[in-house]
Structure 1
Amino acid sequence: MALMTGPRSPFTQLVTRRQVRGITAAAIVLAVLTGLVAWFAGSDDRALDEACGGALAADEVRTVLGDREMDVTSSAQGTFGDGRDTSLAVRCEAIAEGRGRVRVTIAGAPRPRAEYGTGELPTAVPAHDTLPVPIGHGWSGVLATDNARQGDPGDGKATAAVLLDCARGGRSLLITVETALGGATLDDPATRPSFVRTATATAQRADDRWGCGARLGTPVRGVGLPVNKDEYEPLLGATGTCAAVPTAARSAVSTARETARARAPREICALGARDGAPRYRLDAYYGPYAEDARAQYTRNDGEGVTPAEKPAGRLGQSAYWAGADCPGGAPRALYLIRADDADGEARARPDLGYERTALSAFAARSAEDHGCAAPDTP
């Protein structure tokens, strides 16, 4: 099959294992310089080393998947230049039969506006019942899973995301790694760091590969377990993402599920009744997550004024939003509070005064932790 190129026209080539050695490096260089698409597949070591535009942390992938032959696919599209909008979109995957797979995406931001709100941005928050935990160790990132209980169907599957704020122009790189391993359990504290190290090591290589110049973290020795829906505690005395959020007698809000306070692109505080039954959910979005969340509202007809149009306001019967300017030309942070009890009391008889107070406290604490300005609140 012949190789085809043209200005702004993707090219695709299927290759054999032997052919990978001859064309991969040239294809990657061409993709970076011209913004075209490069794709290859193979099963040898060089294919893994050169996957994701040469940014994949191949040694960490080998550590996770073991000493087995792997099927590797990779694509690189777009550029990460000096312009305001970026088009970089890189994907690769390694599959070891009988062991599992590692799937990696690297996305440049800010994207062209039309690309937000389409559901393509990896969220690293795959389920409603568990809260993602910050990676810590100086990284702006999270570890998330569908279920963190040993022996449950989601055990052994996790998503780690790292956001690199580049040194200039308000640009960033978002590295997302989905790992699925047979026979592994996230309940084991020795296992969790291995799910994260592929993301942090790939982030280091991506930072150098595309000249991001971000502030990088340190090696991850340990990471917390995502928080399950039954792991609630008294809201009074909360020290993590729910710190400073008040209780509410009318709304029966007295418990919380939270994670540690750390530099993370997504933060959640879940508020509940005395028995942990859900009442409200507070969310903080930074970087490309904030831009994507705002774009979701531009695609919802009938909402009236939305976070895509004003710094702060009210959504529907029981929801408010706030926003804050962040340093370095980064997108405005977005903070939301929403009733979280389906057809329950908080949604049927919303306590609007409490919602505004809780959102203001949550947004102020989060914005300060991220070095952002005091939020605009409703």
Structure 2
Amino acid sequence: MALTTGPRSLLTRRQVRGITAGALALALLTGVLVWFAGSGDRALDEACGGALAADEVRSVLGDSGVDVTSSTEGAFGGDRGTSLEVRCEAIVEGKGRVDVTIDGAPRPRAAYGTGELYPAVPARGTLPVPVGHGWSGLFATDNARQGDPGDGKATAAVLLDCAGGGRSLLITVETALGGATLDDPATRPAFVRTALATARRADARWKCGARLGKPVRGVDLPVNEDEYEPLLGATGTCATVPTAARSAVSTARETARARAPREICALGARDGSPRYRLDAYYGPYAEDARAQYPRDHGEGVTPVEKPAGRLGRSAYWAGADCGGGASRALYLIRADDADGDARARPDLAYEREALAAFAARSAEDHGCEALVTP
């Protein structure tokens, strides 16, 4: 799935400077693309179409030696989707970097099946946790253990549901800081502040009119692979999901229940070894997940054509209407065991039961209706 990979890379400074003068002139004449590379306060203040929260970036990277690249392409709005794609990157050599993307949603249908529609968040080895505090957002990392290679690097994503028309803005910020550790609860908010402040500026810049959250002074660590608990009594994203004797499902990894655009419940055997994975996608993430299926699965009915159904040997999907013209929510269950037992001998009745319970709980939490299950 495209949503389990890291965010797409921005152009490097060398690549940006290597664009020919003719291409730049054409871009400026057509108004399709505006980009620059520079350094200093002015470059930082103008980055990401002026929507970058420059003060927060300075507080993270420092006040001097900042190199900036930025590009703004497309427009926000339109009857057939929005083409807005904003990218900017701030780097301080030896200190760290901040990569920011702002994407308008939904995308035109012509973009489906051509690659990722939106930047992804790490969601494979660890489970992203909700930002909370009234924000529809996520905090994610490839590895949340002190001293591991992924420590000091994290991604924060914030989804703004705009007032009217089903449009939204997705702000994704990847921060990498040398010498920082995510294990320190005092450090983690620094990894989300830029995303939240940029979301506020983007809301005003593109007249989104979204309901914004409150300041965030603390954020949980993403959930590691060995942080499993008994499925019975689960109170987070795995709440209401049943156990299964035949499939040896009795443990779970979960995150808190909150208004987040991605939710995951990872089901496991008694020793925590993976069995099944349940995913809920909302807004742009649901649109992106559906858009990949025609390319990844080729022939056959996919979530693009029907609100619910079966994919392959051991996978089902369900859907729900979340109103406001937004993309239908998408819920998936897939075999996730390393040795392939769940795939080789799928317990289809349990898969449908688990998906129905997971989707019903998540849809209710998000205020979605008309849930359709396989």
Q: Same fold (TM over 0.5)?
A: yes
In structure 1, the residue matched to 2:305 is 309
**Post-superposition offset of 1:308:** 1.1
How far does residue 364 in structure 1 lie from its aligned partner after superposition?
0.4
2:40–2:64 Cα contact (<8 Å) kept? no
1:327 shift after superposition: 1.6
CA distance in 1, matches of 2:338, 2:271: 16
Kindly provide the CA deviation profile for residues 46-103 of structure 1, in whole angstroms up to 9, marking residues without a partner as x: 1100100000000000011123310001001111134341111100000001100000
> CA offsets per residue over residues 311-333 of structure 1, 9 Å max, x none?
10111111000000112111000
In structure 2, how many angstroms separate the alpha carbons of the residues matched to 1:226 and 1:300?
28
**Paired position in structure 2 for 1:345:** 341
2:242 is equivalent to residue 246 of structure 1: yes
Selected match of 2:191 from 192, 195, 212: 195
Alignment partner of 1:327 is 2:323: yes
What corresponds to 1:258 in structure 2? 254
| Alignment check: 8 A CA contact 2:106 2:284 kept | yes
Equivalent position amino acid for 1:292 in 2: D
CA contact (8 A) 1:124 1:143 kept: no
Aligned to 1:237: 233
Call closer, same or farther: CA 1:120–1:297 in 2, change over 3 Å.
closer
Distance in 2 (alpha carbons) for counterparts of 1:327 and 1:372: 7
In structure 2, what residue type is equivalent to 1:10? A
Distance in structure 2 (CA, Å) of the matches to 1:139 and 1:361: 25
| 1:59 maps onto 2:55 in alignment | yes
> Structure 1 residues 121 and 160 mapped into 2: Cα distance closer, same or farther (>3 Å)?
farther
SS in 2 for 1:243: coil
Within 1, Cα distance between the matches of 2:36 and 2:121? 29
Q: Structure 1 residues 277, 303: CA separation in 2 closer, same or farther (over 3 Å shift)?
A: farther
Residue in structure 1 matched with residue 74 of structure 2 by the alignment: 78
Q: Map residues 137-152 of structure 1 onto 2, 5 A cutoff.
A: 137-152=133-148
Out of 219, 224, 232, which is 1:223 matched to? 219
Relative contact order, CA 8 A, sep 6+: which one is greater? 2
- 1:114 deviates by 2.6
**Structural RMSD (CA):** 1.7
1:92 aligns with 2:88: yes
CA distance in 2, matches of 1:341, 1:105: 34
**Deviations 1:278-318 (CA, angstroms, capped at 9, x unpaired):** 00000001111111111111113445111111110111111
**Contact 2:314–2:348 under 8 Å retained in 1:** yes
1:344 shift after superposition: 2.5
Q: Give, in angstroms, the shift of residue 123 of structure 1.
A: 4.4
- Measured in 1, the distance between the counterparts of 2:169 and 2:254 equals 26
Q: CA deviation at 1:110?
A: 0.6
Q: What residue ranges of structure 1 are gaps of 5+ in the alignment?
A: 12-29
Aligned to 2:13: none
The aligned amino acid for 1:199 is A
Secondary structure, counterpart of 1:10 in structure 2: helix
Could you tell me whether the CA contact under 8 Å between 2:309 and 2:373 is conserved in 1? yes
Gap regions ≥5 residues in structure 2 = 1-19
The Cα shift of 1:10 comes to: 1.9
Deviation at residue 342 of structure 1 after TM alignment: 3.5
How much identity, in percent, do the aligned residues show? 83
CA contact (8 A) 2:77 2:167 kept: no
Cα distance in 1 between the residues matched to 2:283 and 2:75: 19
Q: What's the counterpart of residue 19 of structure 1?
A: none
How many residue pairs match? The answer is 355
Q: Does 1:272 align with 2:298?
A: no
Question: Deviations along 1:13-70, whole A, 9 cap, x unmatched?
Answer: xxxxxxxxxxxxxxxxx9xxx7521111111101100100000000000011123310
Distance 2:325 2:169 in 1: 14
Distance (Å, rounded) in 1 between the aligned partners of 2:232 and 2:195 = 35
The answer to whether the Cα contact below 8 Å between 2:121 and 2:157 also exists between their aligned partners in 1 is no
Alignment partner of 1:306: what SS?
coil
**Alpha-carbon contact 1:367-1:374 (below 8 Å) kept:** no
Equivalent residue letter for 1:336:
L
Measured in 2, the distance between the counterparts of 1:75 and 1:170 equals 25
Distance 2:281 2:370 in 1: 15
**CA 358–342 in structure 1, closer or farther in 2 if over 3 Å, else same:** same
SS of match in other structure, 1:154: coil
Q: Which amino acid in structure 2 is aligned with residue 210 of structure 1?
A: W
TM-score norm. by structure 1 comes to 0.91
Return closer, same or farther for 1:169/1:84 CA change in 2, 3 Å cut-off. farther
Task: Name the structure 1 match of 2:132.
Answer: 136
Instruction: Give a deviation string over 1:113-166, Cα, whole Å, max 9, x none.
Output: 132344434444324110000000100010110000000000000010001000
